[in-house]
Chains A and B, each alone.
Chain A
């Protein structure tokens, strides 16, 4: 059997990705003309859309890198047959990270206090709660963590990818294989430690939770992590199915798809668990400082999105993904992956906007245009990186294990 070891970017693939990027850029320009310079509500919409989309897609692609490192540490064999797809998607982190950094730079140093109320120095000094948090919520601390987080995600991710590509030249001997696994373990652990400190702790507090600066929730970062991890697995599944359709990834089959489906299913339940834990405790305790967070969401203008979010991200996966045949069906997995990516995008939408513009939902073409731009960036960058290196990591020590994988 001859293997297609190089991905040649189909012309439609390139056209679509560039077209989507074009839509994104166009939306950005039109959005700036319409909302960028107006009053506070307009500017909140403009910067909110950029913040929502850039953070969401950055954390999703970064969750793909986390998936790669976690499976590497767990010595999981099944992911090796499609690991080049995982790596290619995670190569979007530096690109989208750069965009996010620029957006945050503008918001922080442009003093967009309609986004982060703690940027208003007068308000902070008058407000005891915000004064107390000012050691944490200030531009210097914020930007330091942002730079460190995006920088180290990119660098450690790059290291993991280059380690994997080094095996392509020649088959590894047993000694080299052991050395390779050891190096992989060390760098994957470093990534995971940094990931735990950032995504599972500080970064969601700074980037998202500080939009409602008075409110806090201790499991918030875990909630964000679960959301992006589900979406990340969904993204991997979509690309794996696409590459299968194009005739690549000959050794990836329904067994691997089944595992990705299981991951989506399990982490959808995990997401719901955190969603519910956060909601139920606040609902039960009924303290006004905390319930204010759910005022706009569960009962106000955002209640439609809030409950739709639960339907897409919990009811749909639990009912559709429960049976084994559906997790092994390419069409069902594609459908559910797209649904989950959109569902968690909606989740982030209400996280960002219900804090900033609680009175009415302003979702419109601008939001979808910017989202399309980011999707275009992901498609373009993933395709570009995937085409540069062999599609199969043939010399990986677990490659055979991955081929004979059976669930």
Chain B
């Protein structure tokens, strides 16, 4: 991954944040992300994020689960070791539906959780940069990515005018890396890096 430069500002009030998001987008700055302590309805639309594809992934995982169950049961009960159970046909579909249903749910649930964690880059023993620890407490933190055209000072003033507090510049690694929060204090050497 790459180390990039960001301008970070935090907000206290939801309406101010919404107005700021709108202003930042109309001004043409590259909105990296907004970190909030709680889910905020409508923020995804305000930020112009695309619809999540988790449901599609879930559907595919679910279908995989159904197929796995059907193949597994029919292999064992019809081809490999057919047994006469209560005079029922070997291919006893109604009796299998509960199991097919369970595997559908299991596959889609586990698969979606893992996909979600991957997309959010969260996993055990993996570390990701926090722009501000207060984004898990009482502030909504807006992060704007700097490109080579961005004038940082101008952007900082602009962000303060929209109502952001504690506006500052950070260099941060965008990806995830192996390490733990207790030990790994300096994952890469860069004097400008501010770690959370």
Q: Does A associate with B in a complex?
A: yes
Stretch at the interface among A86-94, A259-267, A277-285, A342-350: A277-285
Contacts of A280 in B (CB 8 A): 94-95, 97-98
Q: Could you mark each residue 111-149 of chain A with 1 if its beta carbon is under 8 Å from any beta carbon of chain B, else 0? A: 000000000000000000000000000000000000000
CB atoms of B41 and A406 under 8 A apart = yes
Roughly how many angstroms separate A324 CA and B50 CA in the complex, as a whole number?
A: 13
CB atoms of A406 and B42 under 8 A apart = yes
Interface residue B86 (Cβ < 8 Å from any Cβ of A): yes
Interface residue B51 (Cβ < 8 Å from any Cβ of A): yes
CB atoms of A279 and B51 under 8 A apart = no
Interface residue B55 (Cβ < 8 Å from any Cβ of A): yes
Roughly how many angstroms separate A15 CA and B94 CA in the complex, as a whole number?
A: 48
Contacts of A283 in B (CB 8 A): 94
Interface residue B59 (Cβ < 8 Å from any Cβ of A): yes
Interface residue A323 (Cβ < 8 Å from any Cβ of B): yes
Q: For window 310-338 of chain A, which residues contact chain B by CB distance below 8 Å?
A: 322-324
Contacts of B88 in A (CB 8 A): 284
Interface residue A286 (Cβ < 8 Å from any Cβ of B): yes
Interface residue A276 (Cβ < 8 Å from any Cβ of B): yes
With contacts A406-B41, A406-B42 known, is A284 near B55, CB below 8 A? no
CB atoms of B55 and A324 under 8 A apart = yes
Number of interface residues of A (CB under 8 A): 10
With contacts A322-B59, A324-B51, A324-B55 known, is A284 near B42, CB below 8 A? no
Contacts of A322 in B (CB 8 A): 55, 59
With contacts A286-B86, A406-B41, A406-B42 known, is A323 near B97, CB below 8 A? no
Roughly how many angstroms separate A82 CA and B42 CA in the complex, as a whole number?
A: 22
CB proximity of A287 to chain B, nearest CB, Å: 12
CB proximity of A217 to chain B, nearest CB, Å: 16
Contacts of A286 in B (CB 8 A): 86-87
Roughly how many angstroms separate A324 CA and B59 CA in the complex, as a whole number?
A: 13
CB atoms of A276 and B55 under 8 A apart = no
Find B95's partner among A284, A323, A324 (CB 8 Å cutoff). A284
Roughly how many angstroms separate A324 CA and B98 CA in the complex, as a whole number?
A: 26
Contacts of A323 in B (CB 8 A): 55
CB atoms of A276 and B42 under 8 A apart = no
Contacts of B97 in A (CB 8 A): 276, 280
CB proximity of B41 to chain A, nearest CB, Å: 5
Residue of A nearest to B52 (CB): A324
Tell which of B51, B87, B88, B94 has the most Cβ of chain A within 10 Å: B94
CB proximity of B52 to chain A, nearest CB, Å: 10
Roughly how many angstroms separate A393 CA and B97 CA in the complex, as a whole number?
A: 46
Residue of A nearest to B56 (CB): A323
Residue of A nearest to B95 (CB): A284
CB proximity of A265 to chain B, nearest CB, Å: 13
Residue of A nearest to B62 (CB): A322
Roughly how many angstroms separate A280 CA and B94 CA in the complex, as a whole number?
A: 6
CB proximity of A329 to chain B, nearest CB, Å: 14
Contacts of A324 in B (CB 8 A): 51, 55
CB proximity of A361 to chain B, nearest CB, Å: 24
Q: For window 38-75 of chain B, which residues contact chain A by CB distance below 8 Å?
A: 41-42, 51, 55, 59
Roughly how many angstroms separate A279 CA and B95 CA in the complex, as a whole number?
A: 10
Roughly how many angstroms separate A286 CA and B97 CA in the complex, as a whole number?
A: 17
Q: For window 128-145 of chain B, which residues contact chain A by CB distance below 8 Å?
A: none
Contacts of B87 in A (CB 8 A): 286
Roughly how many angstroms separate A276 CA and B97 CA in the complex, as a whole number?
A: 9
Roughly how many angstroms separate A335 CA and B104 CA in the complex, as a whole number?
A: 28
Roughly how many angstroms separate A322 CA and B59 CA in the complex, as a whole number?
A: 9
Residue of B nearest to A325 (CB): B51
CB proximity of B115 to chain A, nearest CB, Å: 17
Roughly how many angstroms separate A119 CA and B4 CA in the complex, as a whole number?
A: 84
Roughly how many angstroms separate A406 CA and B51 CA in the complex, as a whole number?
A: 15
CB proximity of A168 to chain B, nearest CB, Å: 30
Roughly how many angstroms separate A323 CA and B55 CA in the complex, as a whole number?
A: 8
CB proximity of B65 to chain A, nearest CB, Å: 15
Roughly how many angstroms separate A406 CA and B87 CA in the complex, as a whole number?
A: 54
CB proximity of A295 to chain B, nearest CB, Å: 16
Residue of B nearest to A280 (CB): B94
CB proximity of A248 to chain B, nearest CB, Å: 26
Sorted nearest first, the 8 A-B pairs with minimum C-beta distance are A280-B94, A406-B41, A283-B94, A406-B42, A284-B95, A276-B97, A279-B94, A286-B86
11 A-B contacts, Cβ less than 8 Å apart?
A: A276-B97, A279-B94, A280-B94, A280-B98, A284-B88, A322-B55, A322-B59, A323-B55, A324-B51, A324-B55, A406-B41
**Contact surface of A with B, Cβ cutoff 8 Å:** 276, 279-280, 283-284, 286, 322-324, 406
Given A280-B95, A406-B42, 5 more A-B residue pairs with CB atoms under 8 Å apart are: A284-B95, A286-B86, A286-B87, A322-B55, A323-B55
